[in-house]
Chains A and B, each alone.
Chain A
């Protein structure tokens, strides 16, 4: 109703709902995202140890942090983690999602099981895995399987792959759910036509299902990639960035700088870098994929 009145008041100028409807959401966004963000930018130009008063430092923090080998290593690790989580999660959840989209009863049973990790909090998952992976008192010694008694979280070469696995375990269900929903919407008629033309299962999957799920793949990849920039809770619970600096990715670097070394200025620099990279990545993914236009993929229907 208000839409109609708005359109009537300014004919031909605006057709959508009144802009004022965006105010509640915008004000929350401003209060809890934009203002703290500006605060962090300001803080990145000061020296502050958490006590006392921040003192102006110019670009000192920026030059110091950008040339710090610890932060440079953190950037490298973040890139590696982003790439590895995508490489592991994308194919797995695509396959699982398409599998779950089938209407068979046993598949629905599996879907419920796959869904379970989504119900647990990251901290709980971290604590549980930490206990399971403990080389002295964990799963390996409980079951008597010596191959499982590795120093999973304490060996610098093993800790990152282990984290990629645990992250995949907790996030694959969510992405599978996206793919399942998308795959169920694909029109049956196209697949029937393919079957009549003699296409096998594998060919159907690669030549039809995957291309038709393109939008979902992009959405899910954006979530994975942007999300992997901010992984914190799981890693903090499981390794605290250790052993050494082997899993100290940017969000952990920011936190440890701020709340362990009490270098708030340096932490703010890392935080601002994260925001810039995150926004840039999600924006360019959207542009590259043409997803911003929100075209329908159901042309064949």
Chain B
């Protein structure tokens, strides 16, 4: 009796394990309606908390709900890192929301390969022509449209504290790498402990330095080769040179000695600049909104400077090239019901980037990715910064997607880990490129 009951347990455990395994292959089996909480033609959307995007999305969804009470949208907002982990599991297990928020790039390619999102080509006839073509292209995979931009262009900008510049005797924002090093030295001499704020714990802001320096030294081709998976693309001399320049900055004390604890999600790097503890900051255009909300007086007094990333003497890259995120994107889940997909597409056609939407983004200090944004930007209170960012995007010969978004996730994670060690001086540029070249 004892024996048979033990065997019974084993059999039960084994059969349950088989069940659990088959459940793992969620992507391959037909699954229930996406976003279980929405019914009928109502659909769901997941996006990120914070910033102008969240308020704009909310206002826009409210507007839709008021007009379509029969097909309401249910939106949920998550923090950045938490979202990236949650959405992958949700999509993989067939529980994705109808509208999936993303950065396009490697993740979108994964979704398309696994048929998790639907082809939107030809379905957004009202919306498509209003969006800046180069940004719209980011949402295409193999020439088909799978994701549409939903907010603002996010080029990476070099910010500066003009007050500290004046104190340190720096006449103008650095235009070359040599001038940047010189500004660092002058700021240090003037008693600024952290000449350039850097959110080292978040790591991805460190990537912006590598992206820009690689571009300035070797042009956008260096990273394009990595994207195309060319052998030894990581060992490009431009990337090695950029890493050496990063270590040169670290050794010169450009980032101070406490950058390893600074976190970007809490806006600590921005705070360092507006509290006068740091002279410069390389960050996305989206932190302008953080400056506006956290230190309105600082911005109003004209103490915030901004410029394009400095050029490198003898480098191949155009100083007008930019890196960053062209925008964030909506994709439509393949597991949503046809009625839900239809409502979502109708929403995108009729309500996205309407007047209130564009105005909301501009008011919050963001550059909408629509073709009609220019006139509205000129008329806004933030005309100066937004005009600068808009021209920057419009005049850029190349707008490179952030590497951690562009690459497949395995490589992206290895890239961040190893780059962080380069900034800590525990890995040499040569070790970095060798390690990255070995990552499959």
Contacts and interface: CB of A to CB of B under 8 A. Distances in A.
Contact of A136 (B88, B262, B417): B262
Contacts of A87: none
A244 to B, nearest CB: 4
A154 interface: yes
What 4 pairs across the A-B complex have the smallest Cβ distances?
A: A154-B260, A154-B261, A135-B258, A244-B421
Contacts of A134: 261, 268
A243 B200 contact: yes
A51 B413 contact: no
B201 A239 contact: yes
B409 A51 contact: no
B91 A51 contact: yes
Contact of A242 (B88, B203, B412): B203
A262 interface: yes
Interface stretch (B14-22, B51-59, B224-232, B320-328): B14-22
B413 A260 contact: yes
B356 interface: no
B380 interface: no
Contact of A54 (B25, B268, B272): B25
Given A43-B24, A243-B424, A51 B116 contact: yes
B89 A50 contact: yes
A35 B16 contact: yes
Interface in B88-117: 88-89, 91-92, 110-111, 113-114, 116
Interface in A40-68: 42-43, 48-54
Interface of B: 2, 5, 9, 12-14, 16-17, 20-21, 24-25, 27-28, 85, 88-89, 91-92, 110-111, 113-114, 116, 194, 200-201, 203, 257-263, 268, 271-272, 277, 409-410, 412-414, 417, 420-421, 424, 426-427
Determine which residue in B88, B258, B271, B277 has the highest number of CB atoms from chain A within 10 A of its CB, and name it: B258
A136 B257 CA distance: 11
A39 interface: yes
A38 interface: yes
Contacts of A52: 27-28, 92, 113-114
B88 A50 contact: yes
Interface string A13-33: 000000100000010001100
B92 A42 contact: no
A35 B258 contact: no
A209 interface: no
Given A39-B24, A52-B28, A136-B261, 4 more contacts: A31-B16, A39-B21, A51-B116, A136-B271
Contacts of B426: 156, 244
A261 B410 contact: yes
A39 B19 CA distance: 9
13 contacts: A34-B13, A38-B20, A50-B89, A135-B261, A137-B268, A151-B260, A152-B261, A154-B262, A156-B424, A242-B260, A244-B417, A244-B421, A262-B409
Contact of A51 (B114, B194, B277): B114
Label chain B's interface by main secondary structure: helix
A39 to B, nearest CB: 5
A262 B88 contact: yes
Contact of A260 (B2, B268, B271, B409): B409
Range class of the A interface residue count: 35 or more
Interface of A: 19, 26, 30-31, 34-36, 38-39, 42-43, 48-54, 70, 130, 133-137, 149-156, 159, 239-240, 242-245, 256, 259-263
B268 A53 contact: no
A30 B13 contact: yes
Contacts of A153: 201, 260-261
Given A30-B12, A35-B20, A261-B414, A53 B28 contact: yes
A260 B413 CA distance: 7
B309 to A, nearest CB: 24
A169 B257 CA distance: 27
Nearest to B278: A136
A186 to B, nearest CB: 41
A243 B199 CA distance: 11
Contacts of B413: 256, 260-261
A244 B416 CA distance: 9
Contacts of A156: 260, 424, 426
A50 B20 CA distance: 15
Nearest to B89: A50
A154 B258 contact: yes
Contacts of A259: 85, 88-89
A149 B27 contact: no
Contacts of A159: 260
A198 to B, nearest CB: 54
